[in-house]
């Protein structure tokens, strides 16, 4: 069983380039605050900034060590997307699921609406506070039986070998089955309640 620090996170390309906006500030605040409450390993150029006066630790890695190898020693992965929008789930989630880590995401509804098994990830919005979330992560670290429940989905679904989008296959399947969707105003469709 993995027993390295509980939570791993990689800095995004935007963070590495120094691009800062409200979304990134929120993500970094959550990572830092979570680091005040439980062990978090941060990897990338932002690691020094996020590991000040808290339990967040910078992950030094030898040259022959990859991010994937380092992250695979953890139980959880902070899989915050660059945008929290309907139908927007990227490789951050799927790639870590393929490593059998439990992703920590912002919004449960986005993942469940996309057909992701509900007990295969942990959603921040399920908890009243980050303190409650940190307590739950600590509980799972000490309770292997409960932690392993997050992998029961593998009894019914195939684990992805690597992240690949099947959007084109889904489109062909919908055309073949005669599935139709009417969108009368494409601009309104993409702007109305798409991002949270």
Check residue 6 and give its pLDDT: 54
Name the architecture of domain 7-164. Answer: 3-Layer(aba) Sandwich (3.40)
Q: What are phi and psi of 27, to 5 degrees?
A: -60, -45
Structural element, H or E, at residue 56: strand 56-58
Check residue 67 and give its pLDDT: 65
Check residue 56 and give its pLDDT: 46
pLDDT in tens, 119-166: 999 998 999 988 888 889 889 988 999 999 999 999 998 877 665 566
Give residue limits of the domains in the chain: 7-164
pLDDT in tens, 140-151: 988 999 999 999
Both tokens of 76, joined, read 């959880």
- Give CA–CA dist 7/88, Å, rounded: 23
Check residue 58 and give its pLDDT: 46
Q: What is the dihedral sign for C-alpha 58, 131, 76, 118?
A: negative
Q: Does residue 166 sit in helix, strand or coil?
A: coil
Q: Which residue has the tokens 């890695």?
A: 61
DSSP class per residue in 76-110? EEE---SS-BTT---HHHHHHHHTT-EEEES-HHH
The model's pTM is 0.67
Mean pLDDT for 172-194 is: 75
pLDDT in tens, 57-106: 444 554 555 666 767 777 888 787 767 777 777 777 887 788 888 888 88
Check residue 16 and give its pLDDT: 44
């Amino acid at each position: 069983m993995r027993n390295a620090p509980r939570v791993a996170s990689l800095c995004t390309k935007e963070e590495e380039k120094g691009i800062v906006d409200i979304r990134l500030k929120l993500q970094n605040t959550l990572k830092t605050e979570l680091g005040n409450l439980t062990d978090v390993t941060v990897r990338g150029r932002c690691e020094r900034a996020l590991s000040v006066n808290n339990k967040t630790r910078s992950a030094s890695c030898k040259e022959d060590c990859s991010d994937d190898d380092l992250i695979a020693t953890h139980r959880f992965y902070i899989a915050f997307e660059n945008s929290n929008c309907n139908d927007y789930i990227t490789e951050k989630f799927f790639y870590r699921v393929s490593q059998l880590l439990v992703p920590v995401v912002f919004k449960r509804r986005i993942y469940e609406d996309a057909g992701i098994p509900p007990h295969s990830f942990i959603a921040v919005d399920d908890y009243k506070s980050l303190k409650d979330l940190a307590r739950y992560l600590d509980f799972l670290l000490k309770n292997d039986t409960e932690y392993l429940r997050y992998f029961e989905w593998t009894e019914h679904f195939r684990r992805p070998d690597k992240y690949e989008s099947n959007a084109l296959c889904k489109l062909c399947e919908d055309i073949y089955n005669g599935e139709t969707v009417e969108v009368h105003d494409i601009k309104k469709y993409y702007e109305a309640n798409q991002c949270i």
